[in-house]
Chains A and B, each alone.
Chain A
Amino acid sequence: MMQAPVATPSGFSQFKTLLGKDLRLEIRSKQMLTSMGIYALLVLIVYGAALAQTAWGFNILQMAGGLLWVLVVFTSLLGLNRSFAHEKEFAALDGILLVPLDPGVVFLAKAASNVIFLLLVQLIAVPLFAFFFLASTAPAATAPFIVLPLLVGTLGIAGIGTLLSTITLHTRGKDVLLAVLFIPLVFPLLYACVSATSMALLGVDDFGDYWRSLAMAGGYDVVMILLSWVLYGFVLDA
């Protein structure tokens, strides 16, 4: 039997193909971005009702970092739930698994597409949050530094979230289960990111504290993404 010499595509081109597939699907359907965007807007409206009765002296800036992260976590949860939903339709995931791919590449591609979608939603949601709630406040000059914790936090959320949404794909009641697994796991990251975001918004004397919080969040990212990357093969095989 003659065998055509086939060059195995490099890991990076496999990664590009998988990521391109997710992006193309999203550009055509716009399913995930619209649902996440509308969900983020709805969370903001709930905030509006929740904060409507607060007094004039109430300093929302002290809470703003926390509120922003509640928005990010719940919006991400919705997105992560959806990120594998379309892989299950028409057994698309089985198709990917038929190709001899390194599971690490599948993980990185999925995590990368999740990072992109989450950042795109934040690009809309964070200015909207500022528009609705921070218009009459005076954030510190360091306020633009909230970008870094948002970035680091999103990386961690996407990393651990990709692993967990693959796990919950095959379970009963997967939407609730993802939240049950995801929120306690992501808690340390959330804690560090809220700390860094709040310090950027409020302004602190010693900005080293901000960097320390950010380094903590970064440490979580490194450990958890490495661990998810290593363990992803087991999850895909099962």
Chain B
Amino acid sequence: MTQDTHSRALANRLAPVALVLGIVLTTVAFLLSFLVAPLVLGANVAQTAIIGGEAISNKLLLSQKIFYIHVPVATVSFGALAFLAYYSIRYLATKNQARKPFFDTRARIAAEVGLVFIIMTMLSGDLWTRFEWGVWWVWEPRLTTYLILMLLMIAYFILRTAIDAPERKATFAAVFGLIACVDAGISYLITRFVPTSIHPVIFRTDSGLSPSMLVPFLLALFGMALICFALYRLRLRQVELNQRLESLKLQLEEN
């Protein structure tokens, strides 16, 4: 247990540092993405146009800059969900009643942070869709999966607020959290691989990034991961302090 408290104290000390570092890294990545990374060539333009003294035959996609924020945020949101699934399993698997609230709190906070990142992914993705594909919404596999994922996470919290008994709330939330994570995976597979005769899957490969594009991308990825970790730890600390305060209040009332 001393090891546990020790590592927890360390994580708590690291959280603010991680937050600041994450903000710095993402800001640097943001600046690099505009100042260093080249514009991406889009579809051919019907007529060559003179823009800024240069003949342009391709549409330059400024909207592609969203990529440097959107993809890291989406990747990190999956990480948060992996933690939700992990702690849900630990909650259900453990026989130790005293440890159960420990796992439940962590699963809930992982879901909270996950939902924040999912909503950020949806917002940035939607802007990108608007400017790259010209529509606010299409039922495209990735968008559909993410919408379903967002609804599942919202449902997770609606479920939590609808139950009063703390133990039952925790168990049901763990069961639903686990199923939701599995369902998100299936949803990804099915929306992608079910043959649709009506509209083609818009398939993009963004691999083969040049170094000037890869560096801001990776910086943003690490920055976002650090921010996610820091948010998780800070929120966890706040919840744990709150729980301690409540139990102290209860003790005072009893005395």
Contacts and interface: CB of A to CB of B under 8 A. Distances in A.
Interface string B158-172: 110011110110011
A213 B195 contact: yes
Contact of B176 (A181, A183, A187): A181
A234 B175 contact: yes
A188 interface: yes
Given A170-B163, A231-B179, A188 B155 contact: no
What is the interface of chain B mostly: helix, strand, loop, or mixed?
helix
B159 A212 contact: no
B162 to A, nearest CB: 4
A216 interface: yes
B171 A195 contact: no
Interface string B46-68: 00000000000000000000000
A89 interface: no
Contacts of B183: 184-185, 187-188, 224
Contact of B197 (A183, A192, A204, A216): A204
A234 B187 contact: no
Contacts of A209: 195, 197
Contacts of B171: 234-235, 237-238
A216 B155 contact: no
Interface residues of A, number: 40
B162 A172 contact: yes
B194 A199 contact: no
Contact of A192 (B162, B174, B176, B194): B194
Interface string A171-186: 1111001001101110
B196 A238 contact: no
A171 B163 contact: yes
A59 B90 CA distance: 52
Interface of A: 160, 163, 167-168, 170-174, 177, 180-181, 183-185, 187-189, 191-192, 195, 198-199, 202, 204, 209, 212-213, 216, 219-220, 223-224, 227-228, 231, 234-235, 237-238
22 contacts: A167-B159, A167-B175, A177-B159, A184-B148, A184-B152, A185-B183, A188-B189, A188-B190, A191-B190, A192-B190, A195-B196, A199-B195, A213-B194, A216-B189, A216-B190, A219-B186, A223-B182, A223-B186, A231-B92, A231-B179, A235-B171, A238-B168
